Structure 1
Amino acid sequence: MRNGIYLNIFLRNIGRNKLYFTINLIGLIIGITTSLFIFLYVSYEFSYDRFHNNGENIYRIAVNNYQEGKLSSADAMAYSGLAPALKADIPAIKDYVRLKGENGFIGREDKKDTRFKEFKIFYADPHFFDFFSFPLINGDKQTALKEPNTAVITAAAQKKYFGNESALGKTIIFDGKEVFNITGIMADLPENSHLRLEFLFSYSTLYHITGRDSAENSLDWNEFYTYIRLDPDAKAGSVEHKINTIATAIKGERLAKAGRKETLFLQPLRSIHTASDLLHEIKPATSDKTLYFFLLAGVIILLIAWINYVNLTTIKAFERAKEVGIQKVLGAERGELMKRFLLENTITNLAAVIIAIVFLLVLPPLLFNYLNTQLFAEAPLRHTGTWVIIGAIFLCGVFITGIYPATLMSSFMPVSILKGKFKRSPRDIFLREALVAFQFLITMMLIGVTLVIYRQINFMLSMNKGINIERMLAIESPRVFSNDTIPYKLLFEGFKHDLSRNKNITNVSFTTTVSSKENYWKEPVRLSNEEVFKSREIEVAGVDQDFMKTFQIQLKAGRFYADEFPADGGRSIILNEAAVKYLGMDNADDALKKKLVLWDNERDIVGVIKNYYNLSLKRDISPTAYVFRYVPRSYVTVKIDNADNFSDVIKYCRAEWDNFFPGNSFEYFIVQESYDKQYQDEIRFKKIFILSTILASLIACLGLFGLTLYETIQRKREIGIRKSLGATTFDIVKLLSLKVVKILAIVIVIAIPIIHISMSKWLSGYTVHITLSVWIYLLTIVLITLITLFTTVYQSIKAANNTPIQSLRNE
C-alpha cells in the first residue's frame, strides 16, 4: 500500500520537474549504454582461446633474438626440432603441437575451374585434435592427420569447394601439384580464436617435401608455431628455465660465436591475443593496454553519469525538504524515508538500463560499421556474461546513486524545515562542487588524450615513410606453371612487358617484399673478411631492376640494379642503411668498399638505399639485403597513374594474368589499404576515444546545465535586486559564472600533468612519434573552457535578461 503511495508521489514529482528528470535520465542512459558496449567489447577480446579444454595449461613457445647483447627481434615462431627435444627431456611437458603456416592455390582435382588462393593453411602434427578443442564433424581425430598428403578442412571450406556435397574422401590439389585426400571436416573456428585456419595438412607431408630430418629435427628452420601442454602441477616459470637450459646446450655455443643469443619464453594460450606483440603473429593481436584504456574509459563515463545523477538529485533534495519535514511530523521514520527514496532511485536506474538494453539490440550494426570491427559476439543477450555485466552496472548504479541522496533527504530536521531556518551545509555545497570538478577533470583528460591519440595516428598514416605506396596494386604471385619448359623468369618478364604497355600503368616491379607484409625470408650473411661463425641473420628481399623506381625509394650511396649490369644477379648485393649499421660498417660509402658472403658466394656491395618503413611505425626497420632475383613466391607491384583508373587497370591485369598464368586465381590488394590495416587497432582506439569524449562532454554539460539552472533559480531574488540597482547583463553573467570558472581553473592545473605523463608513456611504445607540444595543451584548455562557458553562460544570460519585476514577482 505504502509503496503505491510512494510511487504516486514519485510520479507527481516527475510531472513537476520534467526538465530535471529528463536530464538525469538522459545522462544515465548515455553512461550505461556507452559503458555497456565498452565492457562487452573488452570482455569479448579477453575471451579469446578460453574454450579449449586444459587451456590454462597450454603455452606457445616464442623466441627473443639478441645480437651483441641487444634485442633484435621477438618472434612467435620457433624451429621445428625444438618441441621433440624438449618433450624428451622435460617430463612436465605432456604433449606438443607444431603448426607451419602456408599459402597457395587450392582447387578441386576434378574441376580445374574451382581454384582459389588460400592463406589459412597449416601443416599440423597428427594429434592436433587431441591437443586443441576444435570439434571434428566428420572423420576420426586420431587418424585424420596421420598419413602423408591427408587434409582436414573446415565446414566453410567444404561449402566453398564442394557445395552441398560431403568432401570426406574427396581430393584437393595444392599449387597444381600436391594432392591431398580429405580425411576430416572440422567445425568453423570461432572468431575468438587466435588461430586462423581453414585447411590442415598432415605434418608428415613435409617429410617428402623438405626431408624428414629438416621437418623433425632442424635447429635453424624457424617457421613453426610451437605449442606445449604442461602437467597441471608444473610451474611455468620452472619449465621455462629448463627449456632455456636445454636450448642453450643445443645451439648456444654456435650462436655465441656469432655474437647472437636466443632466449625462449612461454606465452599462456589465453593471453596470446591480448598480450603479444611479436613478429609473425597468426592473427593481429589487440594490445591489452588498449583494452585497459577502453575499460578505464567505460568506468569513467559511467562514473560521470552517476556523479551527474547524484548532483542533480541532491540539488532537488533541498526543494523537497518541506515535503520530508511534513512526512516526519506525520510519523514517517528515517528508515522508511530512505526506503522510499531508494525505490525512486531504483526505478530511474531500471528505466535507464532497460533503454540501454534496447540500444544494445539496435545500435550494433551502426557501431560495427563505424569502428570497422565486431565489438562482441552476435546476439550478446544470449550470453550469461552479458547479463552479469548488466546486473553489475544496475546494482552498482542503484547503490552509488542512491545511498547518499537517500541518506541526505531522510536526515532533514522537520523543526528547522518548517520554521524556514533550513540551510544547506557548507559540507554539502563543497561535496557538490567537488563532484562537478571531478566530472570536468575527467572530461578534460579525455579531451587531451583524444587529441594526442588523434594526432599520433594521423601522423603515422601521413608520415613520409621513405617509400611511395600511393596508387599501388600488388598481385599475388602464381603457383601453378602449366609449361615447365618455360623458365618462370621469362614468364614474369613477359607479363611485366605487357603490363607496361598500358598507358595507365607507370611502373611494374617484381619483389618478394611489399609494404604491410612481413618478410619471412632470412639468411645468414657475413663480411668477406669475417669467419663463418660470425655470420648474422638478416632479411633478404628478391627484387628486379625497377623496384627502387616503382616505390620511389632513395639511394644513399652507389647504384641500384640496372640492365647494363648483367652480372648483378649473382655477383652484386644492395643493403639498406639498417643493414650497414647492423653488420658493423661505418657508413654507406664504407660499405661500397666491402664484399658480403651470401649462400657461400662473395658479392660486391654496389649500393645502399635509405631506410624506409616497410611495416608500421610500431616496428623497427629491419636490416635487409636486396638481391636481383626472380622468385616464384613474390608480388607483382603495379603503379597506376591515377586513382580513377584502378578498375580499368585491374581488368587489364586480370586479362594478361590469364594469358601468362592459366590455372592461377587472380588475387590482388591495394597496398595503401593493406598498410593502413596495420593501424586498425589504433584507428579503433581513436574512434572509441572520440566517441567517449563526445559522450562524456555531453553528460558533463547536462549536469552543469542542471546545476546552473538551479543556481539561477535559487538566486532569482538576488538577480532581481542587482538588476534594479543597475547591474548590467555582463555583471550578472560574471556573478553566476565566477564559481564555475574557479572550479575550471583548478581542474586545468590538475589535468595537464596527468595528460602529459600518461600520453608520454603511451607514445613511448612507438619507434617514431609526435612531440607533446604546447598547442595540444592550449587546445585542450580552450575546448574544455568553451564547453563549460557555453553551458553556463547561456543560462546566465537568460536569467540576466529577465526584468527585475520578473525576478521578484514570486518573492
Structure 2
Amino acid sequence: MLKNYLKTAFRNLLKNRLHAFINITGLAAGMAVAMLIGLWIRDELTYDRYNKNYDRIAQVMQNQSFNGSIRSWTAMPYPVGEAVRNNCGNYFSAVIMSSWTQTRLLSAGEKKFIKEGNFMEPQGPEMLDLQMISGSRTALDDPHSILLSASLAKTFFGDADPLGKIIRVDNKQDVKVAGVFKDLPHNSAFADMTFMAPWKLMLETDTWIRGTTGSWGSNSFQLFVQVADHVSMEQASAVIRDLKRKYISEAEAASKQPVLFLHPMREWHLYESFENGVNTGGRIELVWLFGIIGGFVLLLACINFMNLSTARSEKRAKEVGIRKTIGSLRGQLVAQFFIESLLVVMLALGCSLLLVQLLLPVFNDMAGKQVHIPWSNPLFWTGILSGSLLTGLMAGSYPALYLSAFRPVKVLKGTFRAGRWAAMPRKMLVVGQFTVSIILIIGTIIVFRQVQHARDRPMGYNYDRLVMMEMLTYDIYDHFATIRQELQSAGAVTEMALSSSPVTESWSTEGDFTWEGKDPAQSVDFPFTIVSYEFGKTVGWRFREGRDFSAAFATDSAAFVINESAVRFMGLEKPVGAVIKWGGKPYTVIGVIRDMITESPYRQVRPSIFAMTKPPDSYVILKLDPKMSARTALAKIGAVFKQYSPAQPFDYQFVDEEYARKFDTETRIGKLASSFAILAIFISCLGLFGMALFMAEQRTKEIGIRKVLGASVLNLWHLLSGEFLLLVLIALVIAAPIAYYGMQRWLEGYEYRTAISWWIFAATGIGALLIALVTVSGQSVRAALINPVKSLRTE
C-alpha cells in the first residue's frame, strides 16, 4: 500500500513540475535558513559549556560610582584575591587571580612569536578544566613553568615532545614547558589563550606590579572564583558585597560606593552588558532576534507550501470524487494526501542539508563562527525530522481532511464550489509573508544606517596611514630618538611617537582629580593616556584652543592636554591655563583637543586627559610618509626595528583596520539580516508566483470571455495583478509601525544613534511593490495573451 502511495505521489509531482519546484525550492530555502540560524544559536548558547565546572565558576566584578553614574568593572585591585580568601574562604573551592588575556613575546631558539595567554594562580588549569595532552595541571606550582596549547606547542616544536623544552618570555625569563593542553573551543571566553603561565612569573617579569600589591586603588587584574558545592551563587555574591569597604577609607567608600558581586560563567557571553550597575542583557538579544528571524523565514516557506498545497488541492476535487466512487475509503485518501505532503518535505529537507553544507564556509566567515552540521548528534536529527514531519502534516491537513470529506455525487455533478471565502486564508498568509519580509528589509536598512552614522562621526584624529605596534621589550623605547631620526631620514615616516595605550583604546583610567568648583564628594574616573611629545603631531590632534606638548617647554611634564568632554564636565570657562590637581600635585592645562574616539563609537566620548608624567613604554605609533608606498615604508621600518630590537618580531596594526573592528558586531548583524531578508523576499516571491500561476489557471475561461467581450491585455493584467499589489500594500501598512517600534527600541541601546527617516519606509514599500509586480506580471501578461478560442475550449 505504501508503495502505491509513493508511486502516486511521485506521479503527481512529475505532472505538476513547476508547482513541485516552487514548493521544494521555497521550503528548502526556509529550512536552510532556519538550520543555519539554529546552528548559530546553538553555538551561542553553549559558550564555555565544555567546562565541567561551568555552573560553579564566576568572575568577581565591582560597581563603583564615577562621574555621576555607576560603572561595572571586571578589573580588580591586587589585594582583593587574598582578602576574599581570608574573609570568605569557606564559600569558595578556588579563588584565582589572573592577568588579562594579553600578548606576550615567546621565543625558543630562532623561533619568535607574539601570542596571547594568561598568567594565573596555580589552581587556574583545574578551574578552567584544561584537557591535558601531556604534563600536569599542577605544573603552575613551579613559578618558572609554562603550559602551552596543542597548536602553539606544534608551532614551536613540531612533532617533537615539548615537555622540558625552554621558552623565553618577553626576552626576560626562561621557563620550562611543563604541560600541553588541548586548544580551547572557539566558543569559550578563553578561546584566544594559547598559553598559561604562573602568576608568580608575572610578578618577576613585570616590575610595575610590585607597586600595586598593597594598593586598593589600582584596578589592573581579574579575579575568578569557583563556588563551593554547598553554596549558591547568590549566597557567595552576597558575602563579598561589602568586602572592599573594609580596606579603603571612609571618604573613598562614601564617594565611590564600591560593591563587589559575582558574574557567573553562564552569563559571561550572553549577559555581558551593564548600565548604571544593572545587568541589561547583551548578546542574548541577538539570540532572540535571530531565533525569531529564523522562525519567521521558515514560517514563510511553510506558508508557501500550505498555500500552494491547498490551492492545488481544490483542482483535485474531481479526482477525490472518482476515487471515492470506485471504493476508496476516506482513510486511504487521507493517507495519500499526507504521503504526498511528507514526500515534498523530505525532498526539501535533503536539498536544505546540501545547501547548508555548501553555505557553511560563507556563513561562518560572515558570522565570525566555526559552526558545523552535527551529523552524529541524535538531538539534531530528532529536531529536524520532527520539524519536517510537523510541517508536512500541517501542509497536508487541509487536502487530507477537507477534500476527503466530499460527497462524490456533489463533486461529479459539478455543484462543488470552494466558496467565496475559500481564498481568504491564502490572502491573509500572503499578507503575513510580505509583512515579515518588509520588516526584515526595514530593519536591515536601519542597522546599516546606524553603522554608517557611527563611521561618519568625527574621530578627533586622522587614522590615514597610521600604524601602531605594541612594545614587548624596552629596546625600541631605549633607542627611540635614534630610530625616529633614521626612519624620518629614510622617508618612511613623517612622525613617530610613544603612548601608554593603543590609539583605538583607553587602557588606563585615573581618578583623584580636583579643580576649582569641583564638588568634594564627587568621585571621577577619566581615561588617562601618557604620551611622548610627538603624539599629537603623529595622530593629528585637532586643537580647539591652546597648544600641543613641546620639548621646548620643560614645564610640560607638569601639564595636561584635555578633550572637549573634560572641559564640559569640569565646567571650565577658560580651560587653557586652568590648574587641575592630580594626587594633590598641580598640573596646568595647556591645550584642549576635539573629542578623540578611543572607546565605543556608539557612546559619548568620556572626559579624557593626556599627560607626560612618566615614560610611555607600551605602544609606538608611526605616521607613514605619503610619498612612499606603504609596503616599502613598512619594509624599511621593519628592518630598522629588527636592528634595534632583534628579539621582537615586527608585528604591527593599521589603526584604520583596528578602528573598523569596533563595528564588527553591528556589521555582522547587518550582513546576516540582509541575507535573511533577501531569502525572505525570494521565498515570498516564489509563493506569489505560484499563487499567480494558480489563479491564472483557475480563471482561464473568465479571461477568454473577457477578451471576447473586448478586454485589452492591460485590462487583464490589471485584473490579475491588482489583487496581489493590494495584498502587498496591506502588508506594508502592517509592517511599518511594527518595524518602527522594534528598531526604535534597538537604537535606544546606543547613545550615539541615527534617526529613523520616513524615506526608509517609502523606499521599502516601493521596492516591495515593484518586486511583487515583476513577480506576478509575467504570469499575468502570459495569461492575458492566450488565444480566447483556446481558453474557452479548455473544458
Identity %: 26
The CA distance in 1 between the partners of 2:739 and 2:519, in whole Å, is 52
Residue range with higher mean Cα deviation, 349-358 or 83-92: 83-92
Partner residue of 1:79 out of 77, 80, 103? 77
Inter-partner Cα distance in structure 2 for 1:742 and 1:354 = 36
**Aligned partner of 2:560 among 573, 583, 588:** 573
Superposition map of 1:105-120 within 5 A: 105-108=104-107, 111=109, 113-118=110-115, 120=116
Q: Which residue of 2 aligns with 1:420?
A: 414
Whether the 8 Å contact between 2:559 and 2:589 is mirrored in structure 1 is yes
Displacement of 1:373: 2.3
492-501 or 199-208: bigger deviation: 199-208
SS in 2 for 1:227: strand
Provide the rounded CA distance (Å) in 1 between the counterparts of 2:642 and 2:238. Answer: 54
**For 1:766 and 1:643, how far apart are their aligned partners in 2?**
40
The answer to whether the Cα contact below 8 Å between 1:94 and 1:231 also exists between their aligned partners in 2 is yes
Query: 1:502 and 1:450 mapped to 2: Cα distance?
Result: 48
Q: 2:754, 2:91 → 1: CA distance?
A: 47
Provide, for residues 154-200 of structure 1, a one-character-per-residue CA deviation record: whole Å limited to 9, x for no partner. 22222222233323223222222222232222222121211131221
- 1:93 matched to 2:92: yes
Q: Distance in 1 between matches of 2:250 and 2:449?
A: 47
Partner of 1:739: 723
Q: Which residue identity does 1:796 align to in structure 2?
A: S
- TM-superposed deviation, 1:69: 4.4
For 2:555, give the aligned amino acid: A
User: Distance between the aligned counterparts of 1:660 and 1:302, measured in 2?
Assistant: 60
Is 1:391 the counterpart of 2:375? The answer is no
Change (3 A) 1:546 1:316: same
- Distance in 2 of aligned mates of 1:602 and 1:552: 27
User: Deviation of residue 756 (structure 1)?
Assistant: 0.5
Task: Give secondary structure in 1 for the equivalent of 2:423.
Answer: helix
- Taking the aligned partners of 1:556 and 1:782, their CA distance within structure 2 comes to 46
Stretch of structure 1 that moved more, 270-279 or 428-437: 270-279
1:26-47 Cα distance to aligned partner (Å, 9 max, x none): 0011111121111111111221
Aligned residue for 1:61, secondary structure, equals strand
TM superposition shift of 1:99: 1.3
Spell out, residue by residue over 1:638-667, the C-alpha distance to the aligned partner (whole angstroms, 9 max, x if none). Answer: 223559822111101101112222322211
Aligned 8 A contact 1:59 1:268 in 2:
yes
CA distance in 1, matches of 2:104, 2:58: 31
What is aligned with 1:598? Answer: 582
Corresponding residue for residue 33 of structure 2? 34
Is the contact made by 1:729 and 1:797 (CA closer than 8 Å) also made in structure 2?
A: yes
d(CA) in 2 for partners of 1:802, 1:402: 33
The residue type paired with residue 411 of structure 2 is I
Q: Measure the CA separation in 2 of the matches of 1:690 and 1:666.
A: 39
Distance 2:574 2:146 in 1: 52
What is the match of residue 547 of structure 1?
535
Question: For residues 7 and 37 of structure 2, what CA distance do their matches in structure 1 show?
Answer: 36
The size of the alignment, in residue pairs, is: 787
> Residue 435 of structure 1 corresponds to which residue in structure 2?
429
**Partner deviation per Cα, 1:189-213 (whole Å, 9 max, x = no partner):** 1212111312212123345555998
Residues 1:586 and 2:576 are matched in the alignment:
no
1:276-295: CA deviation from partner (whole Å, max 9, x where unpaired):
1479xxxxx98221222211
What's the TM-score once normalised by structure 1's chain length?
0.91
Question: Which amino acid in the other structure matches residue 457 of structure 1?
Answer: V
* Structure-2 residue corresponding to 1:761: 745
**In structure 2, the residue corresponding to 1:557 is in which secondary structure?**
strand
AA at the equivalent of 2:53: N
Of 335-344 and 298-307, the range deviating more from structure 2:
335-344
Q: CA deviation at 1:367?
A: 3.0
One-letter amino acid of the structure 2 residue matched with residue 455 of structure 1: R
> Partner residue of 1:525?
513
CA contact (8 A) 1:175 1:480 kept: no
* Equivalent runs, 1:617-656 vs 2, <5 Å: 617-628=601-612, 631=615, 633-642=617-626, 645-656=629-640
**1:476 Cα deviation (Å)?**
2.3
Q: Is the 8 A contact 1:523 1:540 kept in 2?
A: no
* Structure 2 gaps, min length 5: 276-280
2:701–2:792 contact (8 Å) kept in structure 1: yes
Q: Deviation at 1:267?
A: 2.0
Tell me the amino acid that sits aligned with residue 397 of structure 1: T
1:672 CA drift (Å): 1.1
Deviates more, 1:557-566 or 1:601-610: 557-566
Q: Distance in 2 between matches of 1:606 and 1:92?
A: 52
Which deviates more from structure 2 when the two are superposed, residues 748-757 or residues 234-243? 234-243
Distance 2:736 2:106 in 1: 60
Q: Is the 8 A contact 1:105 1:479 kept in 2?
A: no
Preserved contact between residue 86 and residue 243 of structure 1 (Cα < 8 Å): yes
Q: Indicate the SS of the match to 1:363.
A: helix
Question: Hey, what's the Cα distance between the residues in 1 that align with 2:334 and 2:245?
Answer: 69
Alpha-carbon contact 2:604-2:752 (below 8 Å) kept: no
Give the 3 Å change call, closer, same or farther, for CA 728–533 of structure 1 in structure 2: closer
Residue identity in the other structure for 1:78: M
User: 2-side partners of 1:747 and 1:531: how far apart?
Assistant: 56
Select between 391-400 and 701-710 the one with higher mean Cα deviation: 391-400
| Aligned counterpart in structure 2 of residue 340 of structure 1, from 322, 336, 340 | 336
Aligned AA for 1:157?
L
1:225-244 Cα deviation digits (max 9, x unpaired): 22222234534334323322
Shift of 1:693: 0.9
Contact 1:516 / 1:678 at 8 angstroms: preserved in 2? no
- Residue 278 of structure 2 corresponds to which residue in structure 1? none
Distance 1:524 1:720 in 2: 88
Q: What per-residue deviation string (whole Å, max 9, x for no partner) do you get for residues 440-481 of structure 1?
A: 111111111111112212222343322221222212225143
Where 1:590 maps in the other structure, the secondary structure is: coil
Name the structure 2 match of 1:696.
680
Q: Distance in 2 between matches of 1:241 and 1:416?
A: 76
Q: 1:766 to 1:789 in 2, by over 3 A?
A: same
- Partner of residue 493, structure 2: 505
Corresponding residue to 1:808 among 776, 792, 795: 792
| 2:144 is equivalent to residue 149 of structure 1 | yes
Contact 1:440 1:747 in 2 (8 A): yes
1:242 counterpart = 2:226:
no
Q: 1:372 to 1:663 in 2, by over 3 A?
A: same
Residue in structure 1 matched with residue 286 of structure 2 by the alignment: 290
Q: Quick one: which of 463, 472, 475 aligns to 2:466?
A: 472
Equivalents in 2 of 1:770, 1:463: separation in Å?
Answer: 11
Determine if the alignment matches structure 1 residue 135 to structure 2 residue 135: no
- 1:516 matches 2:487: no
RMSD (Å) for aligned C-alpha atoms: 2.7
SS at match of 1:526: strand
Alpha-carbon deviations, 1:524-557, whole Å to 9, x = none?
A: 4333897998774322112233322332232122
If the length of structure 2 is used for normalisation, what is the TM-score? 0.93
Shift of 1:416: 1.7
1:10 maps to a residue whose letter is A
Partner letter of residue 164 of structure 1? D
Change (3 A) 1:734 1:544: same
The answer as to whether partners of 2:98 and 2:223 remain within 8 angstroms in 1 is yes
Partner of 1:484: none
Equivalent position SS for 1:604:
strand
Aligned partner letter, 1:373 = G
State which of 307, 318, 321 in structure 2 corresponds to 1:322: 318
Aligned residue for 1:193?
Answer: 188
For 2:142 and 2:15, the matched residues in 1 are separated by 79
SS at match of 2:259: strand
Matches for 1:361-376 after TM superposition, within 5 Å: 361-369=357-365, 371=366, 373-376=368-371
What is the distance in 2 between the residues matched to 1:237 and 1:691?
A: 42
Shift in CA distance, 24/62, structure 1 to aligned 2, threshold 3 Å:
same
Q: Is the 8 A contact 1:67 1:261 kept in 2?
A: no
CA contact (8 A) 1:32 1:393 kept: no
User: Contact 1:98–1:125 (CA<8 Å) still a contact in 2?
Assistant: yes
Question: Quick check: 1:231 aligned with 2:228?
Answer: yes
- Work out whether residues 528 and 602 of structure 1, in 8 Å CA contact, stay in contact via their aligned partners in 2: no
Deviations along 1:652-708, whole A, 9 cap, x unmatched? Answer: 110111222232221101111111122222111111111111111111111001111
Amino acid of the structure 1 residue aligned with 2:228: D
Aligned in 2, Cα 1:286/1:277: closer, same or farther, shift over 3 Å?
Answer: closer
Asked if structure 1 preserves the Cα contact closer than 8 Å seen for 2:498 and 2:616, the reply is no
Q: Confirm or deny that 1:168 pairs with 2:163.
A: yes
Contact 2:454 2:602 in 1 (8 A): no
Query: Does 2:481 correspond to 1:493?
Result: yes
